[in-house]
Amino acid sequence: MVLRAESSAYDAARAMFDNHIGAVLVSAGGELAGIVTDRDVALRAGSRLTLDRIPLREVMTANPASLDVDSTLGDVGALMLGRRVRRVVVTRGGEPAGLISLDDLVLAPGMPREFLAEIVRAQLQEPAPAKPEGATRPARLPRKTAKPARRSREHRAQTLSAFGAKLRRITGLANGEALAAFEVLASNLVRRLTPGEAKDFAAQLPADVRAKLSTGTRPDRHITRGSIERELASRLGVEPAVATELVWRLGQHLDELVSEGEVEDMAGQLPRSLKALFRHAA
């Protein structure tokens, strides 16, 4: 099937559909000008709604692989291999006379299967945006993780900053000391709770704080309010009375750092002395 360069992409698509073929030849001035495949129409013109206004010269592949009508099938195969194409135009005196596809070679008697496989392999190894040269299948596109990873880091930093601001207000300490004081209380609480409840509590904390906590396989009943106060005093280097006040403040305002419901659930697993720290867990 030969169409003029002035014919439209719609004409080509219609000709391919009506004749059950995958390509049409394009001529200009009686000579071969190009070839248009169904893929060309789909990729080069398919995004436009007016195929009847797109001339074939805009979507055709110019200077297609071609051989004179007197060439052999071996010549056709060699040209397909060298140009990495599936179709070769047959010309007579420079004018298009026909088209030979790879399917024709497959059906031709006497064509070595190894040679045909080599042609197919060469075509599959043609480089593409998602496939490096030499690969026969599309490569997995690299995930664009730089921006999501940066956004994740920024979100974590913002969450920790807001959390630190609350701790500074509650404790009256500088940021590092406020975080350290909370870590002492939180780390003891998660070890005193059952693993399931400890996980629920930790899940409501910023990731950077949560990463410093570790739970046990069972509640550590040696943890008491007094042991927490002594550890905090040692960690911050403060007097026992100051440590007692800090533990009290953190406990009284814990429902500002995690949900009130979580505080109530935790309190249900704690002894009376620890439960008394939480203002909504009477």
Contact 86, 64 (CB under 8 A): no
DSSP character for 1?
A: -
Mean pLDDT of 83-95: 87
CA dihedral 179, 181, 187, 190 (to 10 degrees): -100
Contact 258, 202 (CB under 8 A): no
178 inside domain: yes
Helix/strand/coil (H/E/C) assignment for every residue in 201-261: HHHCCCHHHHCCCCCCCCCCCCCCHHHHHHHHHHHHCCCHHHHHHHHHHHHHCHHHCCCHH
Residue 114: what pLDDT?
87
pTM higher than 0.85, yes or no? no
| Parent domain of 104 | 2-124
Residues 59 and 176 in one domain: no
Note the pLDDT tens digit of each residue in 157-188: 888 899 999 999 999 999 889 999 999 999 99
20 inside domain: yes
**CA 282, CA 277: separation in Å to the nearest integer?**
9
**CA 139, CA 193: separation in Å to the nearest integer?**
49
Cα–chain center distance at 102: 36
132 inside domain: no
Note the pLDDT tens digit of each residue in 186-201: 999 999 999 989 999 9
25 inside domain: yes
